[in-house]
């Protein structure tokens, strides 16, 4: 059975040595969080909770799954007690505003905790996972009455929240959703319709669940311009927060899934359920994006988090499992065979896992810092942070989940036959992480968002700014002889990245299908280059601390592996992009 241990040393290296997190917090008004000892204490307590409380429930929760009786859902044994401890420890309130009972700490700190929770027990983490997004959406767009009525209970964790978008006939195309909202009295609405794939849509962990629901008013225009956002609680709530009667929103069933079986993915039926309009009519999709962007970053982190869990399990096994002798001669002559970590192909798999787990962790933490900046900065600095955050969000979501899926499959492969059976826990990581490529906008949609909106419609402005920052760092990296060659390779790739983007733009001017044909390869191309940039920074930072330290040697070795064996993948993605749209779009449907 896998035994997760939070990578505290690497987390602290990233926060303190690479990102200078205390200085960042001081700069943006998080003085209370700027103390290094406090940051470390939060990390260590989060690690204890993840390791000691959540990780032991991961495999049993997968085996037991959720149970539905009528409209009520029961979570696996131990989940409810773990959630109560989570609330008692104050974790749900970590980053929320103090006026609603929150601790007012930075978003980036919650990202660290979120990683450890997902690594230890991704399915359990789904229950509180969307509540923060609901809190952010209501704080940004809700009325003062709505904030007072709902936020204190969501912030404390006494209630959880969901995001209700998908319907049986429409997934990402929300313009054709059918859920109706009919005006009632006292500024209330009757919500009717069916929503599917609702994570944590029904469960027994809390006394109430607050659903944020997209629906149409009777006079709403067609398409996405006619979508409004409504609060629909499981139990109706009076002005004092008292839950008095059951709202007619019921769980019709829970999905039978490939993974995250301990997370209740619900079909919800709204039968004239009482709802409250958030903000203005027909602006619901804009409001929901507050929540969706947070959910996309959380999903990205799930890919990274399970890369780490799988890597830990594979590494421990590779050091212990005896199989054959090294090709260059016995490495453990006192044993019947050598541990499989001596074999080149096993090392290839382990180093790929390590490169993605640690490189994507760094990318996630840097992106979280941009969230801090966007929330607290003003003027041009805020605008720049928002632009870069918008650019990196689809890369994080798609690249980190694609590589997370690859890493967990490699973890299974390291264990061979043992990786395929459940008792070792490795196949669960592969099953659980697979959903992350699909939900919160499939990776193909993330790719269209990146190339179409964040690059081409932006006229390459943000791309230029990102590349300028990368080139600025390369000047420093070339001063280190050990990094000079890789820095030069990265500089060349940055130029090719820009020229490739221009070529897509020119082709798209003649044929718009070129954008869709290039999008996925373009996102992966961009992701590999950006994570290469991250790895160069990590090696540079560690070597500046002490080039002879174990940390510096590890970072340099992994950086060299990434540049030699992973970064060259961009050549294939570039070739796919250059091949154009015709080999996709000119194939007649009857030939499929």
Pick the more confident residue, 120 or 1: 120
Domain-embedded: residue 303? no
Largest distance between two CA atoms of the chain: 82
Mean pLDDT confidence for 28-39: 93
Q: Is there a domain that residue 90 lies in?
A: yes
Mean pLDDT, rounded, for 434-449: 96
Same domain, yes or no: 201 and 84: no
Which residues have a catalytic role annotated? 440
Average of per-residue pLDDT across 115-137: 95
Residue 360 CB neighbour total at 10 angstroms:
28
Q: What is the mean pLDDT of the chain?
A: 95
Could you give the angle at which helices 570-578 and 481-510 cross, rounded to 10 degrees? 20
Residue 23: helix, strand or coil by DSSP?
A: helix
Q: Does residue 123 sit in the same domain as residue 200?
A: no
Q: What is the pLDDT of residue 169?
A: 86
Where does a domain end: 264, 283, 302? 283
Rounded to an integer, what distance in angstroms lies between the CA atom of residue 382 and that of residue 370?
A: 9
Structurally, the chain folds into a number of domains equal to 3
Evaluate if residue 534 carries a pLDDT over 90: yes
DSSP character string of 323-366: -S--TTS-S-TTSSS-BGGGSHHHHHHHHHHHHHHHHHHHHHHH
Give yes or no: residues 106 and 196 share one domain: no
Is residue 386 one of the residues assigned to a domain?
no
* pLDDT score, position 294: 81
* Residue 372, domain member (yes or no): no
211 shares a domain with 98:
no
Q: Could you say which of 239, 267, 283 is where a domain stops?
A: 283
Structure confidence at residue 172 (pLDDT) = 74
The predicted structure's pLDDT at residue 270: 97
| Residue pLDDT, tens place only, 36-66 | 999 999 999 999 999 999 999 999 999 999 9
283, 317, 341 — which closes off a domain?
Answer: 283
Q: Is the pLDDT of residue 344 over 70?
A: yes
Measure the CA angle with vertex 445, ends 441 and 448; round to 5°. 150
Phi/psi region, residue 370 (left: phi>0; alpha: psi -120 to 50; beta: rest), is: alpha
Rounded to 5 degrees, what angle do the CA atoms 376, 381, 384 make? 110
Co-location of 204 and 104 in the same domain: no
1 — pLDDT class (breaks 50, 70, 90): low
Position 293 scores a pLDDT of 79
- Given a cut of 70, whether residue 2 has pLDDT beyond it is no
DSSP-assigned letter for residue 201: S
Range of the domain at 254: 159-283
* Residue 491's pLDDT band (cuts 50, 70, 90): very high
Could you read off the pLDDT of 448-463 as tens digits, one per residue? 999 999 999 999 999 9
Phi and psi at residue 6, to the nearest 5°: -60, 130
CA dist., res. 275 & res. 258, Å (int): 33
pLDDT at 178: 92
Q: Based on the domain organization, do 100 and 179 belong to the same domain?
A: no
129 and 164 co-located in one domain: no
Q: What is the pLDDT of residue 318?
A: 98
| pLDDT score of 307 | 98
Please report, rounded to a whole number, the percentage of residues in the chain having pLDDT higher than 70: 99
Does residue 322 register a pLDDT over 90?
yes
For residues 546 and 484, state if they share a domain. Answer: yes
Classify residue 97 as exposed, middle or buried by CB count within 10 Å of its CB (0-12, 13-18, 19+). Answer: middle
One domain for residues 123 and 165: no
**Residue 374 forms part of a structural domain:** no
> 421 lies in a domain?
no
């Amino acid at each position: 059975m896998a035994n997760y241990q939070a990578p505290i040393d690497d987390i602290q290296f990233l926060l303190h040595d690479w990102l200078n997190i205390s200085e960042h917090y001081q700069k943006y008004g998080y003085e209370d969080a700027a103390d290094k000892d406090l940051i470390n204490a939060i990390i260590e307590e989060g690690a204890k909770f993840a390791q000691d409380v959540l990780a032991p429930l991961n495999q049993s929760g997968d085996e037991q799954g959720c149970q539905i009786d009528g409209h009520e859902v029961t979570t696996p044994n131990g989940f409810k007690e773990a959630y109560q401890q989570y609330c008692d420890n104050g974790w749900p309130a970590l980053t929320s505003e103090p006026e609603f009972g929150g601790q007012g700490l930075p978003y980036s700190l919650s990202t660290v905790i979120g990683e450890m929770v997902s690594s230890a027990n991704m399915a359990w983490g789904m229950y509180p996972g969307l509540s923060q997004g609901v809190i952010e959406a209501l704080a940004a767009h809700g009325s003062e009455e709505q904030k007072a009525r709902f936020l204190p209970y969501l912030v404390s964790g006494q209630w959880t929240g969901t995001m209700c978008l998908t319907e049986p006939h429409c997934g990402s195309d929300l313009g054709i959703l059918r859920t109706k909202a009919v005006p009632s009295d006292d500024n209330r609405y009757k919500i009717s319709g069916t929503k599917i794939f609702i994570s944590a849509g029904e469960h027994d962990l809390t006394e109430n669940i607050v659903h944020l629901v997209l629906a149409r008013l009777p006079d709403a225009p067609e398409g996405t311009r006619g979508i409004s956002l409504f609060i629909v609680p499981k139990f109706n709530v009076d002005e004092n927060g008292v839950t008095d009667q059951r709202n007619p929103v019921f769980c019709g069933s829970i999905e039978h899934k490939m993974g995250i079986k301990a997370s209740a993915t619900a079909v919800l039926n709204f039968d004239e359920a009482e709802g409250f309009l958030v903000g203005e009519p027909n602006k619901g999709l804009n409001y929901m994006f507050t929540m969706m962007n947070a959910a996309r970053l959380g999903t990205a982190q799930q890919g990274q988090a399970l890369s780490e869990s799988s890597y830990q399990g594979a590494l421990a096994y590779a050091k212990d499992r005896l199989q054959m002798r090294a090709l260059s001669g016995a490495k453990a002559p006192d044993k019947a065979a050598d541990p499989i970590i001596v074999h080149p192909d096993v090392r290839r798999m382990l180093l790929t896992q390590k490169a993605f787990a640690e490189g994507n962790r760094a990318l996630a933490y840097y992106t979280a810092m941009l969230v801090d900046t966007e929330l607290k900065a003003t003027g041009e600095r805020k605008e720049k942070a928002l632009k870069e955050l918008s650019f990196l969000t689809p890369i994080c979501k798609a690249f980190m989940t694609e590589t997370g899926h690859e890493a967990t499959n490699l973890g299974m492969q390291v264990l061979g036959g043992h990786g395929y059976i459940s008792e070792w826990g490795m196949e669960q990581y592969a099953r659980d992480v697979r959903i992350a490529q699909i939900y919160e906008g499939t990776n193909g949609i993330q790719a269209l968002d990146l190339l179409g909106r964040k690059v081409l419609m932006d006229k390459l402005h943000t791309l230029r700014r990102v590349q300028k920052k990368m080139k600025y760092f390369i000047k420093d990296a070339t001063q280190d002889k050990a990094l000079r060659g890789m820095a030069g390779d990265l500089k060349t790739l940055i130029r090719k990245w820009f020229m490739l983007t221009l070529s897509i733009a020119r082709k798209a001017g003649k044929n718009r299908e070129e954008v869709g044909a290039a999008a996925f390869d373009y996102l992966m191309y961009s992701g590999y280059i950006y994570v290469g940039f991250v790895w160069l920074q990590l090696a540079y930072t560690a070597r500046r601390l002490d080039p002879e330290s174990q940390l510096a040697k590890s970072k340099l070795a992994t950086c060299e592996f990434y540049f030699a064996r992973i970064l060259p993948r961009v050549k294939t993605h570039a070739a796919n992009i250059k091949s154009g749209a015709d080999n996709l779009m000119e194939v007649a449907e009857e030939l499929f």
